[in-house]
Amino acid sequence: MLWLSIDYHSEEPVYRQIVTIIQEAIMSGKLKANEPLPSIREMARSQRINPNTVARAYRELENLGLIYSRPGVGSFIRAKSSDEIEEQVISLLSTNLEEIVASAKRCGVPEEDLKDILLSVVGKVYGGDKNASN
């Protein structure tokens, strides 16, 4: 019931870490449609995070269309078809990748070299273990 492992040494803001963790949990299917999220207060208390920070993360997730909040009731995972989710994952990945690839191009890295680097990184990250979703 309680997850969220925040790295307080990271330079990524705490609220961004929360957003990312929940986002990835939804994408991977760990959180399912209409499942309730812990209330802001509960999350803040159990994870020892400032309630304002949790609130900001929830707001961000709502803006991303990933959750919906019913005042006085709680926050819930928004229902999505698996196609919609897959599309979102691909779109998110592509956006992040384009920046890096464009930078590589500006650095003069030849297309074939870049592909080699990409595939080697994938092999390295996925090679560690076979659990693709954890």
**Contacting residues toward its own copies, per CB under 8 A:** 8-9, 11, 13, 20, 24, 27-29, 63, 68, 70-71, 73, 89-90, 93-94, 96-98, 100-111, 114-115, 117-122, 124-126, 132-134
Q: Among residue numbers 21 through 60, which ones bind DNA (CB under 7 A)?
A: 37, 39-42, 49-53, 55-56, 58-59
Among 79, 60, 48, which Cα is nearest to 22's?
60
Q: Determine if 1 is a binding residue for DNA (CB under 7 A).
A: no
Strands (E), 1-134: 67-70, 74-77
Helix (H, G, I), strand (E, B) or coil at 90: helix
Residues 6+ apart with CB under 8 A from 17: 6, 7, 10
Q: Which residues bind DNA (CB under 7 A)?
A: 13-16, 37, 39-42, 49-53, 55-56, 58-59, 62, 69-75
